Amino acid sequence: MTLLRIAMAQPHRFRKLVLAGVGRNLFERDDAAHQRIIDALEGNGDPDDNISRLFANYGNMPGNDVVALTAVMRRTGGTLTTAMVASATCETLVAIGDRDFAGPGEVLADALPHATLKVLRNVDHFATPESFGFIDAALEFLDAVPA
């Protein structure tokens, strides 16, 4: 989100951008689900709510800052419009799992003027960073490996 906002405000700063685990959620926010995640991060979550429990587990892992993650989740003005996103003019890879609650990714890819969408099969939000499909797609997109 931070890199996308910079690319929107200062498009000249990027040649290529990889966005992972974001899609429809940038344009729409489920306030009830959002609050459940905040509650879980603060230790007040429903232990049967898998998504919020996973966020809390992630936030509390060694090296992560649960207070900072909670602050990010609490911020206001987080949703974007397609017109705002269209100002990010660099080539962009949107990679999102087909089981990711943040998706689908088509709405974001369609809003970006130079986007490629990579849907990762059988991948959820939390598995995206370690998915070989994501890693391979990102490296190829960034010209980091021979095609």
3-state secondary structure the chain: CHHHHHHHHCHHHCCEEEEECCCHHHCCCCHHHHHHHHHHHCCCCCCCCHHHHHHHHHHCCCCCCHHHHHHHHHCCCCCCCHHHHCCCCCEEEEEEECCCCCCCCHHHHHHCCCEEEEEECCCCCCCHHHCHHHHHHHHHHCCCCCC
pLDDT over 80 at 76, yes or no: no
Distance of alpha carbon 28 from alpha carbon 78, whole angstroms? 9
Distance, CA of 7 to CA of 122 (rounded, Å): 29
Domain spans of the chain, in order of start: 1-29+79-147, 30-77
Cα 4 from Cα 8, distance rounded (Å) = 6
User: What is the predicted pLDDT for the residue at 77?
Assistant: 65
CATH class of 1-29+79-147: alpha beta
pLDDT for the residue numbered 127: 93
Distance in angstroms (rounded) separating the CA atoms of residues 124 and 97? 5
Q: How confident is the model at residue 146 (pLDDT cuts 50, 70, 90)?
A: low
The whole-number average pLDDT for the span 49-61 is 86
**pLDDT value of residue 147:** 59
pLDDT-derived band of residue 58, with 50, 70 and 90 as boundaries?
Answer: confident
- How much is the pLDDT for 1? 83
User: Confidence band (pLDDT; 50, 70, 90) for 118?
Assistant: very high
Q: Whole-model pTM? A: 0.82
